[in-house]
Each structure stands twice: as structure tokens, then as C-alpha cells.
Amino acid sequence: MKIKAAVFYEAGVPFQIEELDLEEPRQGEVLVKVAAAGVCHSDWHLMTGATKHATPVVPGHEGAGIVAAVGEKVTRVQPGDHVALNWAPNCGECFYCLHDKPSLCDAYVGPIWAGTMMDGTTRLSKNREPIYHFSALACFADYTVVPEQCCVKLDKDVPFDVAALIGCAVTTGVGAALNTAKVEPGSSVAVFGAGGVGLSIIMGAKLSGASRIIAVDTNETKGNLAKAFGATDIIIARPDTNDSIRNLTEGRGADYVFEAIGIPAVQEQCLDAVRPGGTVVLVGISSMGSSANLPGALIARQEKTITGSYYGSANTARDFPKYAGLYQQGLLDLDRLISRQYTLEQINEAYADMLKGETARGVIIFPA
Ligand SMILES: NC(=O)c1ccc[n+]([C@@H]2O[C@H](COP(=O)([O-])OP(=O)(O)OC[C@H]3O[C@@H](n4cnc5c(N)ncnc54)[C@H](O)[C@@H]3O)[C@@H](O)[C@H]2O)c1
Ligand SMILES: [Zn+2]
Ligand SMILES: [Zn+2]
């Protein structure tokens, strides 16, 4: 079938809206009519060259829609189901899946990074030349074919734009607080970067019962937004940010510090902002191959813990419905996370707005 998609060709060249060919879903695959796709910074890392990927590729990894057709042997979903899309499909059988770490599944990581379906081939093409799928989802398109493990069925009452955000920002951020850090009630938390992911970490910290939640961002407009999601204190990033964090935490530093930007210098700053015995959680994705300085002596003497958090250490089959339920109960204010809706043709404008740092999350909406 013919579809309309945003295609990424090379760093620095804007997304191109093009007509592509999409094959039918094969065994174990699902055709999804995409309803909404979130504007996450991880797609933008392609544009700066920070993330390397086979091209041309259709990005978009924060999506939701309706199952339009299923391939052979698909058991998880059927046509008409509403689904949020999981960008880290897991096999259920490898070491990590069996040890409750499905976001680290190593059986599927190869094809996902090759930009293909699990059998190593693409369903997307143009003039018979393959077009690659970003993170098995490629949902900056009105239709997509995905492995069935990417489909998590949600209640039809959950709006598609909200469901899309559960597909990345919410699961990544709320999960970083709940699953990765396991933030304890009464604790102090600092979050560097208040974008869609950082604001979701703030929501997760609030849900955990943190008593002090400090949001740090370079952009002043993020202050009110962060407060609305539960931040108790706002710091506009400046050279003495960490002194301010210590002033707010009885001189110690925060119990938990999250980096939700992806800048090595800020990752180092987080290590200084956390108290002895505290935990730094790296959520932001820095350039492939970049590294941060590890002050080993200090980490040893002060027993600081540094951990990564990928997809909020999620089990998406468990966590997507859980976050949708918390939204329905009014405990996750996901409507507020959506600052603006765009058409697919406005995708470059949507990313320009994200880079200005004024939006919580932009979402691309596809015609019904
Ligand atoms: N670990 C994961 O599984 C995962 C999943 C999704 C996204 N990410 C990554 O998380 C990061 C954030 O994503 P997002 O979509 O929220 O991005 P975003 O662009 O919406 O938000 C980033 C925020 O950081 C702020 N910022 C920029 N530089 C800063 C600085 N020096 N100090 C303080 N604040 C600064 C910006 O003003 C903005 O508010 C990205 O690197 C993204 O790739 C990671
Ligand atoms: Zn994302
Ligand atoms: Zn696995």
C-alpha cells in the first residue's frame, strides 16, 4: 500500500514528507493505522548525528493507533484494537527477558538497530529500494508495520495522543523514578532537563512521595510547567546550580539526581549534585561514543551510585496499562504534557519548537 511518511536522509537535512510503499504484515507482524506520534528528542539525535542509523529511515518511536490488519500467527491483538507502541520489543526468552529486564532484551536488539523487522528485512521501500524502520516502529507515518511484540492493547477510552506519550516519554520518565531508582517517600530529587522525559520523571517522583523535587532547566518557561507536574523548586541552570541544590537539601545534595538531557558535562554535574550515598540516574542519551569523566576516588569514598535507565526499566505489557490507569484516575496529568498538536507536514516546525525548549511535548496527529 502507499503511505505518507516523514523520511530522514542525513544529518542536517530536514525531514522530507514522502509517499512510500508499505508491504503487508508478515507472520508475527501487525499493520497499525497510526493515530498519534510524539515528538521525542531521541529522533532528533539522528538529525544532529549523535545517533547513527542506516538511512533512509522513517523515524518516530512514540506512537499509538488502531490495528488495521494482522499477519499469520499473531495472537496478541486483532483488527480494531487500540494500541500504544513499544519501541523495545522483547522476545520473552533471552537471559534479560527471563530476569525481568525486558527493555534490555538482546535477541531483538540486532534487527532493531539494523532498522528492519525481526527477520532482517524492511516492509518499507521507495522505488523498490529499502527504507529503514526506526526502532521497529517508524511511526512518523500514517500506517506502519510492526512486530506484534510492539503492540500493547489499551482501553479505548485512552486518547491516542496520551497513549502515544505512554509509548515513550511517560514510560521512560515515570519508570526511571518508580522502577529504576525506586524513589523512596520523603526523599529529595533533582531533575536536570524538564522536557517530555524530565517532566515525566517529576511526575514519577511525585507519585513516589518525594518531598522535595527540584527541576533544573536552562529555559525559564519550563518553571511553571515543572511546578504544575509536582516540582517544589525550580532552578534556571547556571554555574552555581549545585550550590542551590545543596542549599535546598540541608547542604548534602539530593538523594536522587536524574539527567534527562544527554550532555556529558551535565552528567558530571549530576554526580556532584547527588549526596554521598545517593543515586544518579542517567536517562538522557548522549552522542554515541561520548563519555563523561568518572571521579573514581570520590565515588568510592562517598558511595555514590550511578545507573542508566533505559525505557524506564519497563515491562511495557505491565507498565503501559498501569500508566494509562493512573491517567484515568487523575494521578498522571498526561493531558497537560501535550503542549501542541501538529500535522505530519509540520514535523520540522514541531522539532524547532522542541529545540526552543518551550513545549512539554508536541504530538503529531494523523487524520482519522
Ligand atoms: N533512556 C531512555 O530510554 C530515553 C527515552 C526517551 C528519551 N531519552 C532521552 O532523554 C533526553 C530528553 O528527551 P526529551 O524528549 O525530554 O527532550 P526535550 O528536548 O523535550 O527536553 C530537554 C530539556 O532539557 C533542557 N536543557 C537543555 N540543555 C540543558 C542544560 N544544559 N541544563 C539544563 N537543562 C537543559 C531543555 O531546555 C529542555 O527543556 C534526550 O536525550 C532523549 O534522547 C532517553
Ligand atoms: Zn522517545
Ligand atoms: Zn529477550
What pLDDT does residue 337 have? 97
Whether 42 sits among the annotated catalytic residues: the reply is yes
Are 218 and 351 within one domain? no
Question: CA 251: distance to chain centroid?
Answer: 33
Count: domains in the chain: 2
Q: Which three cell numbers stand for residue 145?
A: 508495520
Q: Provide the angle, in degrees to the nearest 10, between the axes of the packed helices 347-356 and 41-48.
A: 100
H-type alpha helices, 188-305: 196-207, 222-228, 241-247, 264-273, 296-302
Are 346 and 288 within one domain? no
CA 40 vs CA 198, 212, 265, 342: distances in Å: 12, 27, 21, 13
What pLDDT does residue 54 have? 96
In the chain the beta strands, taken as DSSP E runs, fall at: 2-7, 16-22, 29-38, 57-58, 63-70, 82-85, 124-126, 129-133, 143-147, 151-153, 188-192, 212-217, 233-236, 254-259, 274-282, 305-308, 338-342, 361-365
What does the alpha-carbon distance between residue 176 and residue 25 come to, in Å, rounded to a whole number? 33
Please give the distance, rounded to the nearest whole angstrom, from the Cα atom of residue 161 to the centre of ligand 1: 20
Closest of 337, 288, 16 to residue 164, by C-alpha: 337
In a domain, 162, yes or no: no
Are 119 and 237 within one domain? no
In a domain, 318, yes or no: no
Are 292 and 344 within one domain? no
Please compute the mean of the pLDDT values over residues 263-280 and round it to a whole number.
98
Are 111 and 236 within one domain? no
What does the alpha-carbon distance between residue 23 and residue 4 come to, in Å, rounded to a whole number? 13
| CATH number of the domain within which 89 lies | 3.90.180.10
User: Is 154 within 8 Å of 306 (Cβ atoms)?
Assistant: no
Closest of 319, 318, 362 to residue 342, by C-alpha: 362
Are 17 and 130 within one domain? yes
Are 117 and 77 within one domain? yes
pLDDT grade for 358, boundaries at 50, 70 and 90: confident
Structural domain harbouring 358 = 2-153+333-365
Sole residue written with cell 544532529? 48
Question: What's the pLDDT tens digit per position in 93-152?
Answer: 999 999 999 999 998 999 999 999 999 999 999 999 999 999 999 999 999 999 999 999
In a domain, 81, yes or no: yes
In a domain, 65, yes or no: yes
**Which ligand has the minimum distance to the alpha carbon of residue 262?**
1
Are 108 and 241 within one domain? no
| CATH number of the domain within which 291 lies | 3.40.50.720
What pLDDT does residue 344 have? 98
Question: What's the pLDDT tens digit per position in 180-230?
Answer: 999 999 999 999 999 999 999 999 999 999 999 999 999 999 999 999 999
What pLDDT does residue 175 have? 98
Catalytic annotation, pick one of 41, 61, 82, 133: 61
Sole residue written with cell 493515530? 35
What does the alpha-carbon distance between residue 223 and residue 342 come to, in Å, rounded to a whole number? 24
Q: Which three cell numbers stand for residue 136?
A: 521497529
Whether 61 sits among the annotated catalytic residues: the reply is yes
Question: What's the pLDDT tens digit per position in 154-176?
Answer: 999 999 999 999 999 999 999 99
Are 149 and 176 within one domain? no
Q: Which residues are within 8 A (CB) of 108 and not within 5 positions of it... i.e. 6 or more apart?
A: 88, 89, 90, 91, 118, 136, 147, 149
Are 205 and 88 within one domain? no
Q: Which three cell numbers stand for residue 203?
A: 511526575
Pocket of ligand 1 (CB under 6 A): 40-42, 45, 168, 172, 192-198, 216-219, 222, 237, 260-263, 266, 283-285, 309-311, 354, 357
Cα distance between the two ends of the chain: 17
Whether 168 sits among the annotated catalytic residues: the reply is yes
The answer to whether residue 79 scores a pLDDT higher than 90 is yes
DSSP 8: B
The answer to whether residue 253 scores a pLDDT higher than 90 is yes
Are 244 and 339 within one domain? no
Closest of 253, 258, 269, 274 to residue 215, by C-alpha: 258
Question: What's the pLDDT tens digit per position in 24-58?
Answer: 999 999 999 999 999 999 999 999 999 999 999 99
User: Average per-residue pLDDT in the chain?
Assistant: 97
Are 230 and 338 within one domain? no
In a domain, 59, yes or no: yes
